């Protein structure tokens, strides 16, 4: 049976051989190389750390809670505003019904306000006459005109706003 323990001399000798062996098979690292690797490694660490920091920031309650609250307020405001506009416009004749149910026609609040002001200053009879007159000018049913031309292709800059039409002497 072999002895379980090595002598002190054997241990010492083996230790020296191991140290020499490791030294022999391991390349030296130059300072230049170490500095280059340090720089490259720091860039990677910084990039990862930055990404992690941003994720932590945007998922932190200090950001998510106010953001969620702001979103709720925004959604509720839009819903209230939409229902208000539709209700306001719903009673104003064929032209207005088409415009009122189309988001595209109500893209600018300034235009919407102008439209409301103009419409409010006319009775339903006047509005009906306006529709009829417009239908004669464009030679097609007025609701089709609103849907095809006004709602989708009307250019407020070049075509003018609704009060341009209202200023015409066709009432």
Greatest CA separation for the chain: 123
Site size with another protein, rule: CB under 8 A = 32
46 touches another protein by CB under 8 A: yes
One character per residue 8-37, x = contact with another protein (rule: CB under 8 A):
--xx--xx-xxxxxxxxxxx-x----x--x
Structure tokens given for 105 = 């026609």
49 touches another protein by CB under 8 A: yes
- A 10 A CB-CB count for 100 gives 19
Structure tokens given for 75 = 């959604």
Closest to another protein by CB, 9 or 103: 9
Ramachandran assignment for 160, one of left (phi > 0), alpha (psi -120 to 50 degrees), beta (any other): left
62 touches another protein by CB under 8 A: no
Residue 26 CB, shortest distance to another protein, in Å, is 5
d(CA 110, CA 80): 18
Residue 57 CB, shortest distance to another protein, in Å, is 14
Residue 12 CB, shortest distance to another protein, in Å, is 11
Residue 25 CB, shortest distance to another protein, in Å, is 6
Structure tokens given for 166 = 């209202």
Cα dist from 84 to 3, 20, 59, 96, 123, whole Å: 98, 88, 35, 14, 20
Closest to another protein by CB, 31 or 110: 31
- Residue 152 DSSP class: H
Closest to another protein by CB, 23 or 62: 23
What are phi and psi for residue 143, nearest 5 degrees?
Answer: -65, -35
Q: Of the ranges 48-56, 79-87, 121-129, 133-141, which one interacts with another protein (CB under 8 A)?
A: 48-56
Contact residues for another protein (CB under 8 A)? 2, 4, 6, 10-11, 14-15, 17-27, 29, 34, 37-38, 40-42, 44-46, 48-50, 52
């Amino acid at each position: 049976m072999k002895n379980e323990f090595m002598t002190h001399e054997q241990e010492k000798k083996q230790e020296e051989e191991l140290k020499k062996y490791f030294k022999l098979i391991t390349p030296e690292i130059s300072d230049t190389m170490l500095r280059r690797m340090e720089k490259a490694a720091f860039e990677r660490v910084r990039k990862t750390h930055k990404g992690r920091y941003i994720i932590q920031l945007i998922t932190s309650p200090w950001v998510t809670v106010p953001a969620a609250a702001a979103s709720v307020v925004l959604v509720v405001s839009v819903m209230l505003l939409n229902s208000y506009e539709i209700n306001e416009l719903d009673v104003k004749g064929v032209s207005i019904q088409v415009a009122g149910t189309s988001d595209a026609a109500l893209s600018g609040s300034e235009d919407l306000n102008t439209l409301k002001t103009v419409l409010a200053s006319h009775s339903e009879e006047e509005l009906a006459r306006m529709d009829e007159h417009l239908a004669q000018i464009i030679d097609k049913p007025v609701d089709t005109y609103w849907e095809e031309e006004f709602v989708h292709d009307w250019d407020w800059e070049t075509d003018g706003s609704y009060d341009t039409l209202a200023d015409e002497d066709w009432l």
